[in-house]
Amino acid sequence: MKRIGMLTSGGDCQALNATMRGVVKGLHTMMGDVEIYGFEDGYKGLIYGKYRRMTGRDFSGILTRGGTILGTSRQPFKKMRTPDENGLDKVEAMKSTYKYLGLDCLVVLGGNGSQKSAHMLSEEGLNVVSLPKTIDNDLYGTDMTFGFQSAVDIATQAIDCIHTTAASHNRVFVVELMGHKVGWVTLHAGIAGGADIILIPEIPYNLNHVISAIQRRSEQGKGFTILAVAEGAISKEDAALSKKDYKAKLAGRKHSTVGYELASQIEAATGHEVRVTIPGHTQRGGSPVPFDRVISSRLGVTAAELIKNEDYGKMVIMKGYEIDTIPLAETAGKLKYVSPEDPIIRQAKNLGISFGD
Ligand code: F6P
């Protein structure tokens, strides 16, 4: 009988439970009896031996439930090799929990940093299978991560709601969406919600071009403008700074976020009334949309197939609408950015959307 450990790591998202259910149902269907150990709060549970023995029942009725029944936490990869405050070697601690429980495999549901740790553990000799979790859709090697479509759904609803009030008051609205390094959520929700201007980290903006786009709309008799802005959107000027200088500039910034900074700059330049809406963590909350439930179930079952075949050291991915796998060594540590040359950017521009570039 196989013994499987499982953990959810990093920021939560809507389809974590749906994916774990897929793994466990797949294991039970294909292999009969398996022992499942769930680690609490991500890698923390593996480090400090906080786990619980779980059965199929624990994973029943959770397909539609957001969050994670295991709990999660952020354990930065770059600190994994640094001993904790009591001098504990975290990597050795994780290996010894794995050995103590006699695990045959560890299943990791995580984003970029978590995949790096999964790869490290695999290099350290543990059998690891991982699954691509994040609302950001920024994991290299997979076309889609679970959680992304659910976040886009919520972000789009926010823009939809802003539309009616923006039009009634003839105001400019900045809707600031999640994504520090990548703009996938903002790009998709911006197009789906009919935003007029989309600003993402991968395409630094020129403030004058953003202002011209708003003014052009006013001249066309359109009383309102909606900007979908990623939390990591950056001006061309700032993008030209060194990382250190940009950090220092951010530390001294008068406004708490890029959305508020843009709002005050637009107000000063155009005289328009500007309001800011930040859906924030609502984008990670609630029930997964049906699309996520489907891919999570398929990804989860595929992880179970890998375990059955003892085919370890891999992350399950989507290529187009097919499920596939990629060695952790190939994906760990690489982000999938929106390319300014991606046809979706050209198509959005041909719809009349400005990227402020
Ligand atoms: O990685 C997912 C994500 O929601 C990002 O989009 C966002 O920048 C970040 O996590 C927020 O992190 P936290 O929940 O730690 O504030």
Q: What is the pLDDT of residues 279-326, one digit of tens each?
A: 999 999 999 999 999 999 999 999 999 999 999 999 999 999 999 999
Q: Taking residues 60-85, report their average pLDDT.
A: 97
Q: Are residues 137 and 209 in the same domain?
A: no
Residue to mutate (ligand 1; options 284, 335, 337; most atoms within 8 A of CB): 284
CA of 11 to the centre of ligand 1 (A): 6
Q: Is 13 found in the same domain as 112?
A: yes
Q: Are both 41 and 61 inside the same structural domain? A: yes
- Separation CA 117–CA 137 (nearest Å): 18
54 and 157 co-located in one domain:
no
Cα–Cα nearest to 136, from 211, 201, 81, 219:
201
Establish if 356 belongs to a structural domain. Answer: no
Residue 42 backbone zone (phi > 0: left; psi -120 to 50: alpha; other: beta): left
Q: How confident is the model at residue 84 (pLDDT cuts 50, 70, 90)?
A: very high
Residue 125 lies in a domain: yes
* Residue of 33, 41, 58, 136 with catalytic role: 136
Q: Domain check: are 166 and 278 in the same one?
A: yes
Q: Confirm whether 136 is a catalytic residue.
A: yes
Q: Residues 20, 140: one domain?
A: yes
Whole domain around residue 321: which residue ranges? 2-147+288-331
CATH number at residue 178: 3.40.50.460
Distance between CA atoms of 76 and 182, rounded to whole angstroms? 19
Residues 141, 17 within the same domain = yes
Residue 324, in any domain of the structure:
yes
The residue whose CB lies within 8 Å of the most ligand 1 atoms, and thus the one to mutate among 136, 177, 188, is 136
Residue 159 domain-assigned (yes or no): yes
Look at ligand 1, atom 10, and give the residue with the nearest C-alpha: 11
Strand partners, 117: none
pLDDT at 238: 96
How far is it between the farthest Cα atoms of the chain?
A: 71
Cα(178) to centroid of ligand 1, in Å? Answer: 7
User: In this structure, are residues 288 and 154 in contact, taking their beta carbons and an 8 Å threshold?
Assistant: no
Distance in angstroms (rounded) separating the CA atoms of residues 204 and 183: 11
Q: Are residues 170 and 124 in the same domain?
A: no
Q: What is the 3-state secondary structure (H, E, C) of the chain?
A: CEEEEEEECCCCCCCHHHHHHHHHHHHHHHHCCEEEEEECCCHHHHHHCCEEEECHHHHCCCCCCCCCCCCCCCCCHHHCCCCCCCCCCHHHHHHHHHHHHCCCEEEEEECHHHHHHHHHHHHCCCCEEEEEECCCCCECCCCCCECHHHHHHHHHHHHHHHHHHHHHHCCEEEEEECCCCCCHHHHHHHHHCCCCEEECCCCCECHHHHHHHHHHHHHCCCCCEEEEEECCCCEHHHHCCCHHHHHHHHHCCCCCCHHHHHHHHHHHHHCCCEEEECCHHHHHCCCCCHHHHHHHHHHHHHHHHHHHCCCCCEEEEEECCEEEEEEHHHHCCCECCCCCCCHHHHHHHHCCCECCC
Q: What is the pLDDT of residues 201-231, one digit of tens each?
A: 999 999 999 999 999 999 999 999 999 999 9
Residues 177 and 234 in one domain: yes
Q: Do residue 18 and residue 141 come from a single domain?
A: yes
End-of-domain residue from the set 222, 251, 284: 284
Residues 6+ apart with CB under 8 A from 55: 36
pLDDT band at 168 (very low <50, low <70, confident <90, very high): very high
CB contact set of 83 (below 8 Å; sequence gap of 6+): 89, 90
CA distance 2 to 21: 17
Ligand 1 centroid from CA 280, angstroms: 9
Output the residue whose Cα is nearest ligand 1's atom 3.
11
28 inside domain: yes
Position 355 in a domain = no
Q: Are residues 142 and 9 in the same domain?
A: yes
- Domain boundary residue among 229, 249, 284? 284
Specify the pLDDT at position 302. Answer: 98
State how far the Cα of 326 lies from the Cα of 314, in Å rounded to an integer.
5
Residue closest by Cα to atom 15 of ligand 1 = 11
pTM over 0.95: yes
Residues 6+ apart with CB under 8 A from 352: 196
The mean of the pLDDT values for the chain is 97
* CATH classification at residue 308: 3.40.50.450
Burial label for 86, CB within 10 Å (0-12, 13-18, 19+), is: exposed
Residues 193 and 255 in one domain: yes
The percentage of the chain sitting over the pLDDT mark of 90, rounded to a whole number, equals 99
Q: Looking at the 3D structure of the chain, how many domains does it have?
A: 2
Q: Does 344 fall in a domain?
A: no
* pLDDT at site 10: 97
Residue 171: the pLDDT is 94
pLDDT tens-digit series, residues 116-140: 999 999 999 999 999 999 999 999 9
Cα(354)–Cα(357) distance, integer angstroms: 8
Confirm whether 349 is domain-assigned. Answer: no
pLDDT band per the 50, 70, 90 thresholds, residue 177: very high
